[in-house]
Amino acid sequence: MNIPDPNPAALGTQAPWSHTHAWDRPAWTVEELVAAKGGRTVSVVLPALDEEATVAGVVGSIRPLLGGLVDELVVLDSGSTDRTAQRARVAGARVVARDEVFADLEPRPGKGEALWRSVAATTGDLIAFVDADLVDPDPMFVPRLLGPLLLDPQIHLVKGYYRRPLREAGALLDDGGGRVTELMARPLLTALKPELGEVIQPLGGEYAGTRELLASVPFAAGYGVEIGLLVDTYDRYGLAGIGQVNLGVRAHRNRPLTELAVMSRQIIATLLGRCGIADSGVGLTQYLPRDDGSFVPHPVELTVAERPPVAEAARRLG
Ligand SMILES: O=c1ccn([C@@H]2O[C@H](COP(=O)(O)OP(=O)(O)O[C@H]3O[C@H](CO)[C@@H](O)[C@H](O)[C@H]3O)[C@@H](O)[C@H]2O)c(=O)[nH]1
Ligand SMILES: O=C(O)[C@H](O)COP(=O)(O)O
């Protein structure tokens, strides 16, 4: 990979993880990956909340793999009030509503909840997640994410990485996206878990894992889910259990800074929790400018509730 060697003093004397567990130019064909399945089954899950504009495009990019590399394609509808479910269905996905799984448990808001329920709603030995707000996704996203899992039995989680365009003031810049990742997540991860500092997109919504992993770890609430899964995988399997693969370019709906700040607050709470550091639990108050030049405080509560491992919840709920 074209990435400078990390500081060996910080990482020990073995070959850096980014040289052994990152695929910068993945060249596997779909046929090769189908042959490598060896009886294993694959589920693909798109968590979606009000993504009627993009969900059909994402489903359409994966649909041709159904019946071959992919055994089931599910859109986990996270409480949409728009036409997400209809469009996903027409495009060829099975749509599962949040309350169809663990029906006795009142659904909580947030992405973590949707992903947690999706693990119970699917049956694949391997599960790939792809965000439903992607614009013009590459049909090779899922095959590339599955490659390391199919080829190396020690790997349990594969994160995608990519160039990230940013739409700003109507202009589309080639790079500059991933603002929470670059300004908060990677610096904080490097400070608290330096071993994970080589993960290029720790927050990215395109990743794949084994059911063995995904059914046996807790799921953080809301947007803390990705950082929680990453740290839990590391704590359980070490770096040998994690891979990362270049997916090329990934564009999505860019949220405004105010929404990203709330997302950041959740991610920080989850990461501190995983590192055994007490979080105040206080929600973020943003100060929104008014036309007269003054500011109005806008507090947002912090959701920290976690869901227990799916395997445990399934045993408990029967
Ligand atoms: O309550 C929710 C919120 C979001 N989503 C879906 O989750 C995906 C990603 O959500 P989004 O709000 O677009 O997140 P991003 O701004 O893209 O944030 C990035 O960082 C987050 C925190 O790590 C990750 O969860 C995202 O996947 C990653 O793309 C989309 O398909 C959403 O529709 C839900 O299903 N339920
Ligand atoms: O992953 C991130 O950092 C957030 O999703 C923000 O991404 P963006 O800056 O590309 O909108």
This model of the complex carries an ipTM of 0.98
Q: What's the CA-to-centroid distance between 264 and ligand 1, angstroms?
A: 12
Residue type, 293: G
Nearest ligand, measured from the Cα of 133: 1
The closest-lying atom of ligand 2 relative to the alpha carbon of residue 181 is 3
Which residues contact ligand 1 via a Cβ below 6 A? Answer: 47-49, 51, 78, 109-111, 114, 131-133, 203, 205, 223, 226, 252-253, 255, 263, 267
How far is ligand 2, taken at its centre, from the CA of residue 261, in Å? 11
Percent of the chain past pLDDT 70, that is, above it, reads 96
Which ligand minimizes its atom distance to the CA of 206? 1
Q: Indicate the domain borders of the chain.
A: 19-317
Give me ligand 2 centre to Cα 317, in Å. 36
- Report pTM: 0.95
Give the Cα separation of 285 and 80 in Å (integer). 26
| pLDDT in the model for residue 221 | 83
Mean pLDDT over the full length of the chain:
94
Q: Which fold has domain 19-317?
A: Spore Coat Polysaccharide Biosynthesis Protein SpsA; Chain A (3.90.550)
pLDDT of residue 1: 38
Distance, CA of 146 to CA of 277 (rounded, Å): 34
Burial class (CB in 10 A: 0-12, 13-18, 19+), 38: exposed
- pLDDT score for 12: 53
Query: What letters, b where the CB count within 10 A reaches 16 and e where it falls short, cover 78-114?
Result: bbbeebbbebbbebebebbbbeebbeeeebbebbbbb
Kindly give the number of the ligand 2 atom that is closest to the alpha carbon of 165: 10
Residue 2 pLDDT level (bands cut at 50, 70, 90): very low
pLDDT tier, 15 (very low <50, low <70, confident <90, very high otherwise): confident
Atom 7 of ligand 2, nearest CA residue: 178
Q: Where would I find the beta strands (DSSP E) of the chain?
A: 22-23, 42-48, 72-77, 94-97, 126-129, 134-135, 157-163, 166-168, 171-173, 207-210, 242-249, 251-252, 284-289, 295-300
* 147-183 pLDDT per residue, tens: 999 999 999 999 999 999 998 888 889 999 999 999 9
Q: What is the pLDDT of residue 169?
A: 80
Ligand of minimum distance to the alpha carbon of 224: 1
202/160 Cα distance (integer angstroms): 9
Residue 252, SS3 per DSSP: strand
Nearest residue by C-alpha to atom 11 in ligand 2: 254
Atom of ligand 2 nearest to the CA of 177: 10
Q: Residues with Cβ < 8 Å from 217, sequence gap 6 or more? A: 228, 229, 232, 233, 236, 309
- Which numbered atom of ligand 1 lies nearest the CA of 260? 16
Ligand 1 atom at shortest distance from the alpha carbon of 222: 1
pLDDT attached to residue 13: 64
Asked if pLDDT for residue 270 goes beyond 50, the answer is yes
Q: Which ligand is nearest to the CA of 184?
A: 2
Flag whether pLDDT at 271 surpasses 50: yes
Q: How many CB atoms lie within 10 A of CB 239?
A: 20
The response to whether residue 44 sits with its C-beta less than 6 Å from ligand 2 reads: no
